[in-house]
Structure 1
Amino acid sequence: MNVTGKTVGVNGMTGMRGTYLTRRGFVRLAGAAAAGAALGGAVLPLSGCAPAGDVLRVGTKIDVPGFGFQNPETGSVEGLEVDVARELAARIKGDPNALEIVGVNVTTRGAMLDNGTLDATLATFTITDARKKTYDFSRPYYIDHIGVLVLKKSGITDLAGLDGKTVGVALSATTKDKLGAAAAEAGITLKFAEYATYPEIKIALVAGRVDAFSVDSSILLGYQDDSTYLLPTQFAPQEYGVATKKGGEYSGPVDEAIAAMEADGTLRALKERWGLSLVTEADVEAEQEAGGTGLGEGDPADDGAAAEGGASR
């Protein structure tokens, strides 16, 4: 398992805050996504982990830098959600190496829980009331907001500039509905194009097939480069939870382990390791009660706004 104590980005770059993909890095990332699609749920390599016997089978993404990403240099999958999975194995199975990581995407992460291939899914899976009817979710281990990435040359600087434009989103994600609601409230109309993977959306943006790329902001930071701009406006807090089979044997133990990781500081340390937002539920609730955005101290967007006079990168 690649837990080095430093943030590993694409092409060897460190840090998610202000991380940019080089052209070479982006091509490699797109290649990794294509390979991941071809894997069809194969067990992926984890440096230092040698599962044997009773293991925890966890699905993570492999195309999201900082969360679940198959490093093109090493072939290993790494990120916050992989590290959380390792902690779950340690606390539930008694051994951090009693773990199998399986690559998933937005269309397979739930299906593989349904068919018993996975024990749990840690794949930027947003907790919603509709999804809780089908799966059990742990308490949130990460909180983000929906963001929008555009090409700088488009001249789009805010939500109003997207009126009549096409936005690329992930299949089966909450983004389409949440962004559509925000657009309706702003009195504009949007068109949507859905894709199976994030690299496909970035490629569509660069090629001009879509006018914007929308997903959670921390994910977009991994796809930002010198040609793109992350709009300062963010929408709808997104709470990520560990999904397990409804009424399954792991539902209780997983939630208890996440609670313990939050209480003993493990979650915060892992977020810091990967340069991710430190926002908690308490932060969101406090700022919303105060009439703020609910981002909370420590969010990358807040840091960007302070550094650039109010506009996040």
Structure 2
Amino acid sequence: MRYKRIVSSLLAAGLLAAVTLTGCGAPDEETVLSKDVVKVGCKNDVPNFGLMNIDTREFEGFEIDVAREVCRRIYGDDVKVEFEAVTAKTRGPLLETGELDMVAATFTITDERKETYNFTQPYYTDHVKLMVKKSAGFTDFKSMDGKTIGVSQSATTEQSLQEAADEAGISLKFSGYSSYPEIKAALDSGRVDCFSVDGSILSGYLNDSLILLPDEFAPQEYGIAIAKRNNKLAAKADEAISEMKQDGELEKLMERWGLTQ
């Protein structure tokens, strides 16, 4: 009898735990949708997209404005949006752990990434390009044969360029860095021969001693990323982007930051 009572107690406890977990799982999405403060991951090294103003100590840029407007349309005018700087390497993990509710940080949509995250429809499309020193004498992609390309860690750039190199019959070496300023510094010092990332990002680092080569590769569609567990938030964010395209708000924001295509 004592054994039966123990088994019954364990079964009851297990059932209660299951009910509790089931009950907790469902409201999570609703809790996310009723927040007063939304945490968004953004870039802090991409001029015109995401960069902290050193005077105001506030993040500024196209993606900052897009994220604010998306949050306003989802949560209402009184919502507070808190931004946190991320890199290509940190943005995914911070989203997965729940430290961030969404990420708007030049996050390229790929089939592989869609297996891990929810993405909205694209709010901006770019292409991978190449930035080199004028004095180096490079004229196009094929002239980079045997050279070292500086790329961002965990970005899609290396894969895109390697595929293009294979097609062109040239050889490339790659060196990964955690931030764009580090790649720019590596180019300036001669540790790499080329800085490669999306063209709009490179434009923010151009100066009189640098040029963009004419070649472009692999369309890069940026979407707002949201954790897989937050499907309702993802659907509402996608709806907001769709509305912004239809009512012209997205185009206005691109014009504001000189990104009209």
Assess same fold via TM > 0.5.
yes
Helix, strand or coil at the partner of 1:147: strand
- Between structures 1 and 2, the one with greater helix share: 2
Structure 1 residue 96 displacement after superposition: 6.1
Instruction: Compare relative contact order (CA 8 Å, sep 6+) and give the higher one, 1 or 2.
Output: 2
- Of 196, 210, 219 in structure 2, the residue corresponding to residue 237 of structure 1 is 219
Pair member with larger Rg:
2
Deviation at 1:57, TM superposition (A): 1.1
Match of 1:123, SS state, is coil
Please, which of 154, 159, 166 is the counterpart of residue 172 of structure 1? 154
Identify the match of residue 254 of structure 1 among 223, 237, 242.
Answer: 237
Per the alignment, residue 111 of structure 2 pairs with 129
Letter of the 2:207 counterpart: D
RMSD, aligned α-carbons = 1.1
Offset at residue 97 of structure 1 (A): 4.8
Structure-1 residue corresponding to 2:23? none
* Paired letter, 1:189: S
For structure 2, the residue ranges without an aligned partner over 5 or more in a row are 1-34
User: For the structure 1 residues 154 and 96, does the alpha-carbon distance in structure 2 shift closer, same or farther, using more than 3 Å as the test?
Assistant: farther
| Kept after mapping to 2: 8 A contact 1:149/1:220 | yes
Moved more, 241-250 or 185-194: 241-250
Q: How far 1:161 moved relative to its partner? A: 1.1
Q: SS where residue 184 of structure 1 aligns?
A: helix
For residue 91 of structure 2, give the secondary structure of its aligned residue in structure 1. Answer: coil
Residue aligning to 2:142: 160
Q: How many residues end up aligned between the 2 structures?
A: 226
> C-alpha distance in 2, partners of 1:102/1:263?
29
2:247 corresponds to 1:264: yes
Is the Cα–Cα contact under 8 Å of residues 87 and 96 in structure 1 kept in the other structure? no
Q: Which amino acid aligns with 1:57?
A: K
Q: How much has 1:160 moved relative to structure 2?
A: 1.1
Task: After superposition, give the CA deviation of every residue in 1:250-272 in whole Å (9 maximum; x if it has no partner).
Answer: 11111111111111101000000
Is the counterpart of residue 103 in structure 1 residue 85 in structure 2? yes
Q: 1:73, CA displacement in angstroms?
A: 3.3
**Aligned equivalent of 1:17:** none
Q: Evaluate the alpha carbon distance shift between residue 59 and residue 96 of structure 1 in structure 2; reply closer, same or farther with a 3 A threshold.
A: farther
State yes or no: 1:205 paired with 2:152. Answer: no
